[in-house]
Chain A
Amino acid sequence: MKRYIYLSKYIFLSIAIITAVSCNKDRFLEEPVFQLTTETSYSTPAQIDLAINSMHNKMQYLSFSSYQYHNYIMTGLGLDGFFSTTNSFVTSNWSLLTPTEPGYVSHWATNLSQVLTYANNVIEACNNPAVKFSNDVQKNELLAEGMFFRAWSHRCLVGLFGDWPIITEVQKVPKLDFVRAPRVDVWKQCKADLSFAAANLPNTTSRPGRIVRAAADHLLAEICISLGDHTKDAKYYDEAITAASNVIGGKDGDYQLMKGRFGKRATEAGKNVYWDLFRAGNFNYQEGNKEAIWVVQYDYANAIGGTGGMPNSATSNKLLLEFAFQSTSYFVNRQLKDASGNSYFFFGDGAVKFANGQSSQTGNDERGVGASQNRPTNYFFYTIWENNGQDIRNAEANIERNIKQAGGKPWNDVFAEIKARGDWNKIIPSDTIRSIYPRIWKFSTDKHINGNQEFYDADIYIMRLPETYLLRAEAYMKKGATDLAKNDINEVRSRSNARLISDAEVTMDYILDERTRELFGEEYRLVTLTRLSTKENPVLVNRVKKYGWKWPDLPNENRPNIQNHQWVYPIPQSIIDANTDGEFKQNEGY
């Protein structure tokens, strides 16, 4: 028994000692982490490069994933160039564009805010002293690409919504008191970021799609024009001209307008260089396209079934605007049959054969989706080409006005046939709006090279040298150097064999028209028009009123029913509601 008493005493003594010494509690509560975190994921230059990839991933998502057509809003859906064929769409019936509208306004706000966050993470990682770079060039190149995307996001957000908070840091705890900054201040932040980017990005890259110095200068030129417009300080126009000249003049690399046939299908007869610019395999600078500055990449093999593929959900949809623009290729009124009892199909070009021998769009029929969701305006189809000479951009190779059925029968012949059969009354008006209109080949192909009619293998231009010329022209014009402006515009027009213009024709409206002729569906038209707009002079609204589609279903006085305050989009109510510790002001009028 005695030894038990001793043992008991020892136990109680050791409790006392252990309690007194006590082991390190905090160490016991350290959290062993088995997941990637920002701390572990941004510790080397190579990892930061992977973080930059995420911004390109997002750009692919925004460019290729048709999120209920939200993506087309940036390129100008509902504005002067093209419109939705349903008047229940927010930009076709502007009264529907409200802060609580469930997604159209927040799609870009959400995704651009994410790009901005990724960019700030990259910038923070580059400035982290714990990350060892082999030299300053390596560090600054990564930092510069982060800054480029920060500027890109800010610029697009301001373009959509007007004043917007400047966000230059990664939030570690939820921030609930964002305050909108005047857009001039945001542009100044963009200018600072882009100046660094333009000084530090490489001139060329072996990776198509990555950001090069010319992209930073191109965007800087646009930002400086905006600053000039809205500060009334003409020095910004000079900076814009300098930045654009860096691209055009060769300082940022060898950029030239493509003037002769080139690329994979250069030998095909009946086409022209503008057509070549939009063929698969011809988009990238690395492929010999010297006017490509920034191209968002698409790769069919990696998009469909590949393991290391395109960003999620950027792969299941039709590419580009083909899906949006091209009709379902048959009359909505199914009772209209040809002599063999088949429905009429259009846009079949004979180059692509499918099991049923029909056009490239039959997949849509089975999915019950009307494909001609969006349609260009008469402004695009007719107005801008008036008094324009033999512009190759308006040649049948690029805007096919006499569209063809599968097998090659032209629309004009089919039309005559229907008329002769006395079936004309069976074509209902909406067919001719939704389904029968010229085919725009810059967003379409006659070769689905991968055999899948729902996809083709084309990239998307975000920046192309003609726009740089047009930006410089704008800056020259605003500075008063009309002749230099005219020269830049004519540089673009002469490539297309268009009529050359005189000094007197140089106006902002003309530049906007020229942008449509050259950059239709490519440029972020919404940003272009809002950067020019003010409350007093809402250029965007004026142009929509002038050129936008006049909806027959709407009351006369409402065609189109855009309101003066709608030169900017409403701030999504979800942002205002969630910003509980501060006031996130709504745009006037909403």
Chain B
Amino acid sequence: MLIAILITSSNLFAQVSTRTVKGNITNENAQPISGASISIKGTSNGTVSDSAGFFQLQTREKGILIISIVGYATQELTLTNASDYKVILKERENELDEVVVIGYGTVKKKDLTGSVQTVNIENTPIANLANTNPLQSLSGTVAGVVVNPQSKAGQDPLSTMTIRGDNSIDPSGSGLNQPLIVVDDIIFNGTLNQINMQDVASINVLKDASSAAIYGSRSANGVIIITTKKGKSGKPLFTLNSSYAFQNWSRKPEMQMDIDKLLKVRWDYFIDAGRIPVGTDFNRSLILTTQEAEAYDKGIRTNWLDEISQYAPIQNHNFSVAGNSSNINYYISTGLLDQKGVIYNDQYKKVTFLAKIETKINQYFTLGVKGNYYSADNSGLSPSMQSATWMSPLSSTKTLTPGYEDWIPSNPSGSSARNPYVGFDRQVGPAYGSDENKAQNIDGSGWLIVKNPWIKDLTYKISLNGTYSHSIYNLDVGPKIFADTRTPANMDNFNNFWGQAYANANSTNVRTWILDQILTYTKTIGSHHIDAMAGHSRDAYRYNTLQTEGNGFNMPNPLKWNGINLATTQKVFKGESRYQNLANMMRVNYNYANKYYFTGTFRRDGFSGFAPGNKYGNFPGASVGWAISQEKFMSNITWIDFLKLRLSWGQTGNQSISPYETLATMGLDYTVYGSNSAIAIYPNRMPNEGLSWSTTTTKNIGLDYTFIKGRVFGSVDIYKSITRDQLLTRTIPILNGFSTVRTNVGRVDNQGVEVVLTTIPIKGIDKKHFNWETGIVFSKNINKIVELYGTVDAQGNAKNDISAAPTSDAYLIGKSIHSVWDFKMLGIVQKDDVEYINKYQARPGDVKFLDYNNDGKLNSSDYHYQGDRDPLFILNFNNTFTYNNFSLYFSLKWNAGNSTHYLGKDRYGRMASMAIANGAQLKNVDPWTPENPTNLYPRAEWVNSQGYWFWNTRAFAKLKDLTLSYTFDKVALDKIKLQNLRFYVSGNNLFTISNWTGLDPEDGGTIAANPGSIFYGSYPVLRTYSFGAVVSF
């Protein structure tokens, strides 16, 4: 809370014992405040201000004045030698007075008519969390927002985050559902890593279309507005914030290290699979590979998950200076983040710098500049977790062949499973490969605000922003990765593999600029209040990439990616793309007597990526609000402080297609005539001149409430959105020459309810008393595909439409985008399931499936709807306790699911494939045997020929965030000339309850698919313990 104290007199008094101190108290509008109590801190000495706001008090020379009155923030004022004080009291801000950023402008929360939720970060417990990305702060605080937890160092969750469900069918996961990010009023194109978490003051999330429509064609998935910090105090305030954290796996699967058990399972498998005649006496040499037998004899037992893990600390240091004096507001900050992930070699380092200076030249002109620099290093190849889980513990990390001890074995267990450190074609490990992955970004803005001398209250703002980012990715894969160390000759002659070695060097740069011009007009006439805005915006985006590739070397290449010119085959790929946007927009906020509100918004957008005739789209929005509590008939209901009903409607767009998608582009290939090669060019994409925006229409009903003198407050929102003209790649008859084309087709609806309820069960009078604030953030979203194309079969039933793959999102009419289409698993076939065994030629220990169409066969026609991957609801339970200088905050997260909701692919958590030296070697996997008639795991030798995915609910409850901080007393700090000193400890993803057998259920990470499959990508979610200190002076 800000105080402005203006010292108007500097008369010196020479009195030693007592003196007269007088003053005048006004509000921010210079109106006198009468009846305020003025007292000297720690004494009973006090007085009350008169009707003109004046007071007079006898006091000793030193002391602190406390000025307080209901409705205003209490002020403390250290007495100086001056005798005459002018005190300006600020109205006490309750949450309704919070300023909400709504895009090209701000409103007070109580005046909002759309659905906007604010997360204050500056000086809140959230700021003490070890979040390295601002979006992570939204996960537990904003209803309807889903942000995946971090699983890799430096991971940016933007591309997978959603607000109020998925509006778009996006089979390729190309980010069609990601919200628009706006930073300090400017549309942001970069990675969120460019923003230092410690520079963020607040985040506003525009959820309904009437709010987001001001961003038109890019706002269909909601808008997240990030506001950075500003200078506040007259004196420069220096702040140093340092934290240190260490991380581990939020859930780590256990490898099977019980060798006897491992051998037994494998023996059973060999017998059952007919590899060893029934009745043979146990003999481990029959079931172990040469390498495993050697490891067994030497007593080598390797836990490969431990082998690929590393100690994972985070260091985070920030230093800033901020101030607000002589019409200059400045905030300058620099940050250093050094994070290691839990998988070996996963690391991320970044340096950020931010300078923001705004100067008010005079009453007509304000000028500002902002500069941002970011440099990051994410280099480092990591071993594959999947390969690790497939590695038998009877294997060595070092080559056991004498004379080759400095080699890392390519296939440690002797099977075809590759050493995670060595890797293979698609997943190069760190042993014999290396990479370089770096990025820099500079981002500069300047703005000028001009007040109109003729028409008061008319303001013009022009702002220009430019960014340049440059990133490189270089990869080197040496010859040793191709040597199978099971054969010593390969190691002797590893130089023979230079022919297979390769190196890539890629560099990419992105340049953007945005020019915004905004006119605003504010006027109050009697009870009529108008706040109007009109603007013009244009921006441009350019992408450039140069990729070079060298394959095969006739000579050793010690230069890695700098030696591409030595390669026998060298390839160059150069790409460039651009797009431009153009927009005109306007918004009118009108309210009558702070009771009746109306907001109208309109934006007309142009996008270069669409064909002529389709370049422009219109995006309107309208909303009304009724502050019921301001009505006379409500005045005697004293427990209701504030009650407002909001209704909104709006349309927003999604233009998330790449440039040139409307054009028929060409591909190059070759043909031969005789022995002469000739280039062939052919159209490789269907043109579609009709391609245009997908449009989301959203209706929202909301209620904001504050009860019992601010002890209970929050909001309830019910919404329904309809997204038409999906930007879908649909199948078309091949007679067009192409089998797919990006086109506008289909409709997806989302409807849901969001509740934010905050209560203050125990209210401390001041900070010395115990205070407890608790809140729930609840959201439920129902996603439904309403229309597609060719969506019914001959019987009129909706059918699996876009994706033929049974286990992917199935796209069923009337069901969620994330529908699961697969067999239904009934359990495991037991010995007495005679009927099933006979009917389906099954064996005890097989997975038992439902014969859905009851035709006596189990095949792809038994796939059917199993439920969806969406949570039933998400509930966050947040608590803040403050007592004296202590503050404790924790957040619990419950994502609810059941056997048909919030499903995830749990395949390798449930599959008993550890039976050979080439399968997931997990402790929890306990295969079915006659002695162990489990209903969860099939027999070890069962072959998943139908590709069933073992769907399992990911429902979980989690202690998501916790922070405890201690802030030193101001009095104590004054002695050591500090403004602020705080110590804190915090943690993320601390504790999870779930039946999910994979990694962390929150992102549905799987343990291990076949290392060569496309499902190898999961990294473990990070659990973080952090401690740190903030010092300001």
Contacts and interface: CB of A to CB of B under 8 A. Distances in A.
A106 B675 CA distance: 31
A163 B267 CA distance: 60
A206 to B, nearest CB: 9
Between B536, B671, B675, B678, the greatest number of chain A beta carbons within 10 A of the residue's beta carbon is seen for B671
B582 A28 contact: yes
A38 B460 contact: no
B689 A173 contact: yes
A311 interface: yes
Contacts of A9: 453-454
Given A4-B365, A31-B579, A53 B680 contact: yes
A41 B663 contact: no
Contacts of B738: 117
A53 B681 contact: yes
B734 A308 contact: no
B608 A54 contact: no
B670 interface: yes
A31 B673 CA distance: 37
Given A11-B460, A31-B579, A34-B575, A50 B680 contact: yes
Nearest to B686: A174
A135 interface: no
Nearest to A306: B677
A31 B666 contact: no
A578 B731 contact: yes
Interface string A107-125: 0011001101110110000
Interface string B678-693: 1111110011111000
B674 A207 contact: yes
B672 A60 contact: yes
Given A172-B689, A311-B670, A15 B517 contact: yes
A8 interface: yes
Given A8-B364, A56-B671, A171-B686, A308 B677 contact: yes
A299 B674 contact: yes
A174 B742 CA distance: 10
A433 interface: no
Contacts of B730: 174, 578
A149 to B, nearest CB: 12
B736 A117 contact: yes
B228 to A, nearest CB: 27
A271 B582 CA distance: 76
Given A178-B733, A311-B669, A37 B452 contact: no
Interface residues of B, number: 70
Interface in A190-233: 207-210
A415 interface: no
Nearest to A49: B678
Contact of B452 (A8, A56, A301): A8
A554 to B, nearest CB: 19
Contact of B676 (A36, A165, A207): A207
Interface in B347-398: 361-362, 364-365
B737 A31 contact: no
A435 interface: no
B627 interface: no
Contacts of B607: 29
A234 interface: no
B736 A118 contact: no
A106 B578 contact: no
The number of chain A residues touching the other chain, given as a range, is: 35 or more
Interface string A88-129: 000000000000000000100110011011101100000000
A54 B660 contact: no
B731 A118 contact: no
Contact of B362 (A1, A57, A298): A1
A58 to B, nearest CB: 8
A421 interface: no
Interface in A231-250: none
A303 B690 CA distance: 40
Interface string A39-81: 1010000010011011011001000000000000000000000
B260 to A, nearest CB: 34
A25 B582 contact: yes
B362 A26 contact: no
Contact of A53 (B579, B678, B736): B678
Contact of A113 (B673, B688, B734): B734
B368 to A, nearest CB: 16
Contact of A574 (B361, B606, B666, B731): B731
A31 B666 CA distance: 17
A167 B364 CA distance: 68
A38 B666 contact: yes
Contact of B660 (A11, A31, A57): A31
Contact of A57 (B365, B452, B615, B669): B669
A124 to B, nearest CB: 11
B741 interface: yes
Interface in A125-172: 165, 167, 170-172
B1031 interface: no
B433 interface: no
Contacts of B672: 60, 209, 297-299, 302-303, 309-310
B703 to A, nearest CB: 40
B506 interface: no
B449 to A, nearest CB: 11
Contact of A54 (B663, B682, B790): B682
A106 B608 CA distance: 37
Contact of B608 (A7, A30, A286): A30
A57 B364 CA distance: 69
A12 interface: yes
B833 interface: no
A579 B731 CA distance: 9
A50 B681 contact: yes
B460 A15 contact: yes
Contacts of A116: 735, 737
A113 B735 contact: yes
B606 A37 contact: no
A12 B739 contact: no
A36 B732 contact: no
A19 B362 CA distance: 27
A552 to B, nearest CB: 23
A15 to B, nearest CB: 6
A121 B683 CA distance: 9
Nearest to B579: A31
A579 B790 CA distance: 8
A109 B734 contact: yes
B735 A167 contact: yes
A208 B674 contact: yes
Nearest to A112: B734
A556 interface: no
Interface in B429-455: 450-454
A3 to B, nearest CB: 10
A32 interface: yes
B679 A308 contact: yes
A419 interface: no
Contacts of A36: 665-666, 668, 681
A54 B736 contact: no
Contacts of B735: 113, 116, 165, 167, 175, 178, 575
B559 interface: no
Contacts of A175: 732-733, 735-736
Contact of A297 (B606, B666, B674): B674
Contacts of B682: 51, 54, 57, 114, 118
Contacts of A15: 460, 517, 519
15 contacts: A5-B453, A25-B582, A26-B612, A53-B671, A56-B671, A114-B682, A118-B737, A171-B737, A173-B688, A174-B736, A207-B676, A297-B672, A302-B670, A578-B734, A580-B790
Given A4-B361, A57-B671, A303-B672, 4 more contacts: A5-B364, A51-B680, A572-B734, A574-B731
Interface of B: 361-362, 364-365, 450-454, 458, 460, 517, 519, 536, 538, 569, 575-580, 582, 606-609, 612, 615, 659-660, 663-666, 668-683, 686-690, 730-739, 741, 743, 789-790
